[in-house]
Amino acid sequence: MMFKEELIDQIRAVFPRAVTDYTGRKRAFFDNGTATLVVDNAAKAEAVARINCSANVGAIFNESKLATDTIQMGRQAITDFLNAPSPATIISGESATSLLFNLSYALGKELTGNENIVTTDYEHYTNVDPWVELERRGKVDKVRFAKLNMEEGTLDMDHLQELIDSNTKIVTITGASNMLGTISPLEEIGKLAKEVEAYFIIDAVHHIPHGPTDVQALDCDFLVFSGYKLFAPHGSYLYGKEEHLENLQPYKVRTAPTTPPGKYEWGTRNQATFAAISGVMEHLLWISSEVETNYSKEYRQFEDNKRALKIAMDAIQKYETEFSKAILTGYDDAPGLLDMPKVTIYGLTDLNRLSERDPTFSFEVENVPEEKIVNHLWKEGGIAARAGHYYSYAQDIYNKQKIVRISLVHYNTLEEIKTFLKTLDELCKQN
Ligand SMILES: Cc1ncc(COP(=O)(O)O)c(C=O)c1O
């Protein structure tokens, strides 16, 4: 196993709400796709920054200097995490949604109305509507949606390839579907985008806590993710290639900086969120130090924190693959979802392709309403899951306005999965 028992306990200890909620109720938190729990040093760093550097940047007194340094350190931490070339390529904003709208306005200024944008049928609406808005305003001719292989819940790559032509100016894709858990073949898609010199944009919000993300290896032009899906409080980050950040003209007030990142940032920064994201990176660096002996040769091309963060995320990904396997095939004396005939799973179930999915599973139980499933899981098993619409376009494609979803991250355990599976199996047998 990638994470030793002792390390799992230590990880859970730094997430104060991993085992119980604030009322003291023991529960397994399986709603991470909606928002992850916050790691304690991120929350503490946020509180300290809130008190010690509540002043705005740019003045000579201590609070202001600390605010400036805190923001710079946060940007550097994200730079290392994404293997970005410099902190000036990291823009912060309120949410991925606001950052993508801002980006779409800036890109829209470059378009003539004859171009097209290619995206997919399994995006979050955050990566749909900023582009549809450009179409609505006549800035692009059409937003094109690549189909899914519906049975397995993966992208139809032939269709995606067909949609990209010489008029394609933007190819914008999610790192992983937040309904299906499927990871997009980003490197392949990036190459298709480059062939026609289109901007290649990645919505990494769902995939970010599940594995390494490397903007230079992906050769993407922009990538967005959100702190609240990565063990931090809210606040989101957009990486952009230096030349684009220099050249594009975002909507801004005239007195705001004319150079990136400030050129793209609406209003003053919240320094406390930068302190928090640095806290997350410290957590990941600590995980790396715990597992590093398993990585003698890998990631040698990266230095210091860049290497360590890759190792941490790689180890997390390997550990989480065990979750996907256990959820599908069972763990200990609990049967897997594949053993429960009344359960329908949306997304990849092929055990040879587990590296192509995150441990995010949407499913239904024959003849059992979604609320009943969620209530049973919560009351009988202490499983915090959700039934709903996750703003995923895929839910509209599958015509599932409401679906039960579980999504796990590295502080979850196989024991929790066992409880989940047994509780769900009990429900299947009762109905
Ligand atoms: C894939 C994906 N993109 C975007 C978002 C929205 O992010 P934000 O709330 O930061 O705008 C989500 C949230 O669930 C998501 O899963």
Per-domain boundaries in the chain: 5-39+317-430, 44-280
First to last CA, the chain: 36
Question: What is this structure's pTM?
Answer: 0.98
Average pLDDT in the 232-242 region? Answer: 98
CA 120/CA 408 separation, integer angstroms? 24
CA 189/CA 352 separation, integer angstroms? 22
Which atom of ligand 1 sits closest to the CA of residue 178? 16
CA 170/CA 199 separation, integer angstroms? 5
Which atom of ligand 1 sits closest to the CA of residue 99? 11
CA 353/CA 361 separation, integer angstroms? 15
Looking up tokens 């790559």, which residue turns up?
157
Average pLDDT in the 45-61 region? Answer: 96
What percentage of the chain exceeds 90 in pLDDT? 99
Is pLDDT above 90 for 2? Answer: no
Of 110, 239, 124, which Cα lies nearest the Cα of 173?
124
Ligand 1 centroid–CA 121 distance in Å is 15
Residue 140 pLDDT class (50, 70, 90 cuts)? very high
What percentage of the chain exceeds 70 in pLDDT? 100
Predicted confidence at residue 1, as pLDDT, reads 65
Bridge partners of 387, per DSSP, are: 404
Which atom of ligand 1 sits closest to the CA of residue 177? 1
Ligand 1 centroid–CA 226 distance in Å is 7
**Secondary structure of 22-86 as H, E, C letters:** CCCCECEECECCCCCCCCHHHHHHHHHHHHHCCCCCCCCCHHHHHHHHHHHHHHHHHHHHHCCCC
Average pLDDT in the 349-374 region? Answer: 98
Ligand 1 centroid–CA 127 distance in Å is 8
Looking up tokens 């599908």, which residue turns up?
328
Which atom of ligand 1 sits closest to the CA of residue 34? 14
Using most ligand atoms within 8 A of CB, pick from 99, 119, 120, 124 the residue to mutate for ligand 1: 124
CA 336/CA 81 separation, integer angstroms? 34
Q: What residues does ligand 1 touch, defined as CB less than 6 Å away?
A: 95-97, 124, 126-127, 174, 178, 203, 205-206, 226, 236
Ligand 1 centroid–CA 124 distance in Å is 6
Q: What is the mean pLDDT of the chain?
A: 97
Query: Can 5-39+317-430 and 44-280 be said to share one CATH topology?
Result: no
Span 279-321, pLDDT tens digits: 999 999 999 999 999 998 999 999 999 999 999 999 999 999 9
CATH classification (class only), 44-280: alpha beta
CA 44/CA 231 separation, integer angstroms? 13
Ligand 1 centroid–CA 242 distance in Å is 24
Average pLDDT in the 177-206 region? Answer: 98
Architecture in CATH of 5-39+317-430: Alpha-Beta Complex (3.90)
